[in-house]
Structure 1
Amino acid sequence: MLTAVFSLTGALVFGAADFLGGLAAKRVSALLATAVAGLAGFVLLGVVALPLLGGEWTADDVLWGAISGVIGCIGIGLLYACLAIGPMSILSPTTAVASAIVPVVWGLVFAGERFGAVGYWGLGLALVAVLLVGFVPERGAVRPSLRGVLMAVGSGAAIGGFYIAIDQTSDESGMVPLVVNRGVGAVVMFTALGVVGVLAAVRARGRAVAGVPTGGAPEAERMPRRDRQTLAGGIRLAIACGVVDATANVLLLLGIRAGDLSIAAVLAAMYPAGTILLAALVLRERIAPVQWAGLVLALAAAAMLAVA
């Protein structure tokens, strides 16, 4: 019961975080959005969650927290990038299905878990759901790009890997793995951001030396203020995303600790409900009926896997 409560609540919170992350990635790069969100989450977990909920520091738990941080920042970075491409209402469920299948397969192949017939039907239904979600027969319906779909599947696989890694930590570790997770993730993303910045500066210098024109003076005068406003807005959204995402991770960890990984991960995969609702209300995204059918099947598959 507690697993369902924590995981489903965390799923709704995850959906809101993904929506904010996708909006942030539209204003700044997905790399910067992920880095800022990770730092904001690290501050929240270290200042609020760890003192309140506590946890023991052991080498194994710190190691698994670090591993989950590297895997997690890859998954979240790909997620924010694909949500920025859009449509959120299609790519978010695709990511969710992949993130649910990976822990289930891990449990079946490596952890010795066994499902009944309902569980295996749920896996098959999830694959059908992915096909329906990506199929757009109607004119005017939102159409996901191949790049967006591939990024969504990769993101889901990495998020599933995060679930597996964080499940290896002990109950006594409390919030320690999540603090390490966010700290490592922020370091990785800011390092990657620095590398990208250096490479961009080198390319710009090379263009300047070669005499390649960089644009007229009027445009150069208009851009800085607009860029600063866009950057500030994107960073604010990324900070909000990090706070909401860290909250969702706390709920998910509590759900995993209260029951089985496969059940918690599959229930947490229902997070597209929050993303889709916000995308429909705020961005006015339109979804074809067959895609709605795919979304319903995805949620049904998640429920079947949970009861299996």
Structure 2
Amino acid sequence: MLTVLFGLSGALVFGSGDFLGGMASKRMGAFLATGVAGVVGLFVLFGLNLFVPGEVTPETVFWGLISGVCGSLAILLLYAALAIGPMSILSPLGALISAIFPVLWAIFIAGETLAWFGYLALGIGAIAIVFVAFTPEKEAVKPRLRGIIFASVSGILIGLFLIVMDQVPQGAGVYPLVFNRFVNITIMFSAVGGMALIRWAHKRGYFGRDGKPRADLVVGDKGVLDYKNGILLALGCGILDATGNALLLFGIQTGNLSVMSVLTAMYPAGTIILAAVVLREKITKLQLLGMVLALAAAGMLALS
């Protein structure tokens, strides 16, 4: 039960944070948005250290650093994908892919076992993610190829991140995430110099092959920078992202990786709901059915 609570609450927090991250990326680019969120997340994790005791060991440092590489690139690509949009399609696509590798690893490599209805719940959860990601209606916004690629690679890296987090030794507290954030900050702000150079090229008229500015990673939506609102959104994103990571780590340490992988992959529900409310993106009937199935799967996993 505790694992399911960590998983569902973490998924909701993740989804909300991803929405803010995508909105921030629209206004000031994914590099800077991810970097600012990483700095804020680091302070949040330092605060959590006061309440969650942990021990720093070589294994803690190693897996924290490795998770930082996977997580940073995953979030960067995810925020870039969400900035391209539509969020209601690209977020579930990344989530579906992110659930595949950890589940296969947990069952076939780590040797995890569940009750028979636990495996059924994993299957229902996978179907739920597919339904949430599927938008057959003509009115639904179609994603661009670049957004699909970004979301897919992000999903692979999120899956690797979950596997790495499963290697963290018990009693590490949130220290692995602290080292994770140091890597995140280093990568993102090292890229800020390159970002500034590309923005200069944008101002000089050097665009992409299609004749349009590459706004997804470097500058805001339609090439318009909005640092004031972008930073505010990134601050909120950093708080939610760090909290979601902590809930994920606690869930993995108290339960099975396979269970947490599927539960964590439910995070698009939060993104979709916020996208529908704020951006007026369409939620289809299949997506609503997927959310119901996700809750049913979570209940079954809690009993397994």
TM-score bin (small chain) = 0.7 to 0.9
Structure 1 segments, 4+ long, off by >4 Å, are 114-136, 199-207, 290-308
Aligned to 1:163: 162
| Counterparts of residues 112-151 of structure 1 (less than 5 Å) | 112-114=111-113, 136-151=135-150
8 A Cα contact 2:89 2:135, kept in partner: no
| Per-residue deviation, residues 60-101 of structure 1 (Å, max 9, x unmatched) | 110100000010011111111111111212222222222222
Aligned to 2:101: 102
Aligned to 1:280: 276
Alpha-carbon distance in structure 1 between the residues aligned to 2:97 and 2:296: 15
Alpha-carbon distance in structure 2 between the residues aligned to 1:12 and 1:206: 41
Alpha-carbon distance in structure 2 between the residues aligned to 1:295 and 1:147: 26
- State the shift of 1:138 in Å: 3.0
Aligned to 1:216: none
TM-score of the aligned structures, taking structure 1 as reference length? 0.82
| Counterparts of residues 4-153 of structure 1 (less than 5 Å) | 4-46=4-46, 48-114=47-113, 136-153=135-152
Aligned to 2:175: 176
Alignment partner of 1:252 out of 240, 245, 248: 248
| Per-residue deviation, residues 165-220 of structure 1 (Å, max 9, x unmatched) | 1111111211110100111111111112223334555787897xxxxxxxxxxxxx
- State the shift of 1:137 in Å: 3.8
Q: Compare CA radii of gyration and give the structure with the larger one.
A: 1
- State the shift of 1:241 in Å: 0.3
Instruction: Read off the aligned partner of 2:231 and give its amino acid letter.
Output: I
Task: Name the CA shift for 1:61/1:33 in 2 (closer, same or farther; >3 Å).
Answer: same
8 A Cα contact 2:10 2:245, kept in partner: yes
Alpha-carbon distance in structure 2 between the residues aligned to 1:131 and 1:254: 26
Task: Name the CA shift for 1:54/1:27 in 2 (closer, same or farther; >3 Å).
Answer: same
Task: Name the CA shift for 1:4/1:115 in 2 (closer, same or farther; >3 Å).
Answer: closer
The 3-state SS of whatever aligns with 2:45 is helix
| Per-residue deviation, residues 118-137 of structure 1 (Å, max 9, x unmatched) | 66666666666666556544
8 A Cα contact 2:88 2:133, kept in partner: no
Q: Which structure features the higher share of helix residues?
A: 1
Percent of residue pairs identical:
52
Instruction: Read off the aligned partner of 1:42 and give its amino acid letter.
Output: L
Greater CA deviation, 70-79 or 285-294? 285-294
Structure 2: 5+ residue runs without aligned partners? 207-222
Instruction: Read off the aligned partner of 2:109 and give its amino acid letter.
Output: F
8 A Cα contact 1:269 1:302, kept in partner: no
Alpha-carbon distance in structure 2 between the residues aligned to 1:134 and 1:277: 13
Task: Name the CA shift for 1:125/1:68 in 2 (closer, same or farther; >3 Å).
Answer: same
Aligned to 1:189: 188
8 A Cα contact 2:248 2:260, kept in partner: yes
8 A Cα contact 2:89 2:134, kept in partner: no
- State the shift of 1:261 in Å: 1.5
8 A Cα contact 2:122 2:259, kept in partner: no
Task: Name the CA shift for 1:173/1:124 in 2 (closer, same or farther; >3 Å).
Answer: closer
Task: Name the CA shift for 1:301/1:151 in 2 (closer, same or farther; >3 Å).
Answer: farther
Instruction: Read off the aligned partner of 1:29 and give its amino acid letter.
Output: G
Aligned to 1:270: 266
Alpha-carbon distance in structure 2 between the residues aligned to 1:288 and 1:193: 38
TM-score of the aligned structures, taking structure 2 as reference length? 0.83
Instruction: Read off the aligned partner of 1:278 and give its amino acid letter.
Output: L
Alpha-carbon distance in structure 1 between the residues aligned to 2:147 and 2:111: 34
Alpha-carbon distance in structure 1 between the residues aligned to 2:253 and 2:30: 31
8 A Cα contact 1:134 1:144, kept in partner: no
The 3-state SS of whatever aligns with 1:173 is coil
| Per-residue deviation, residues 268-291 of structure 1 (Å, max 9, x unmatched) | 222122111111111111133345
Aligned to 2:218: none
Structure 1: 5+ residue runs without aligned partners? 208-225
Instruction: Read off the aligned partner of 2:13 and give its amino acid letter.
Output: V
8 A Cα contact 2:92 2:133, kept in partner: no
Alpha-carbon distance in structure 1 between the residues aligned to 2:138 and 2:202: 41
